[in-house]
Amino acid sequence: MTDPTPSEPAQAAAERFYSGALHRIRNFMVVLSPILVAAASWKFGLRPAVGFAVGCIIAYINFHWLKSVIAAFVDRATGTATSESGQGIVFRFLLRYVLMAFGAYAILTVSPASLNGLLAGLFLPVAAIVCETVYELYAALARGV
């Protein structure tokens, strides 16, 4: 009988592939942003596109900070040495929402028409995660990772 479990090298290759997901998602966000901003500018005009660009920037920063906050929480939970206090971690976690609220307020006071673009831009990580999902599906089916 054959063993249905993957071999050690294949399992290590799959682990390396899937451990790079966050990096690939970040790259997808960087690539998708200008493409989607250009499409928003063409379809909806300059003001909503500027709002969308601001939303993309906030979403990218939010994604980066969320990753680092979760890593800090995990480090504290597992007892791994960290120089950051629990209050600093919570502050950074809450600062993400302050940044989003400030961006929405600034856009709303300057150009209410751009608010929809800002809100749509905040969904950039969702688009990047969808791209990563399609890529992982392709890798699983075509390359057997």
Our measurement of the distance from residue 37's CA atom to the centroid of its chain's CA atoms, rounded to an integer in Å, reads 17
Percent of the chain exceeding pLDDT 90 equals: 33
The pLDDT tens digits of the residues spanning 35-63 come to 999 999 999 999 889 989 989 998 998 89
Give the tokens for residue 64. Answer: 């980066």
What is the pTM assigned to this prediction?
Answer: 0.78
Q: How many Cβ atoms sit within 10 Å of the Cβ of residue 25? A: 21
DSSP states along 22-67: HHHHHHHHHHHHHHHHHHHHHHH-HHHHHHHHHHHHHHHHHHHHHH
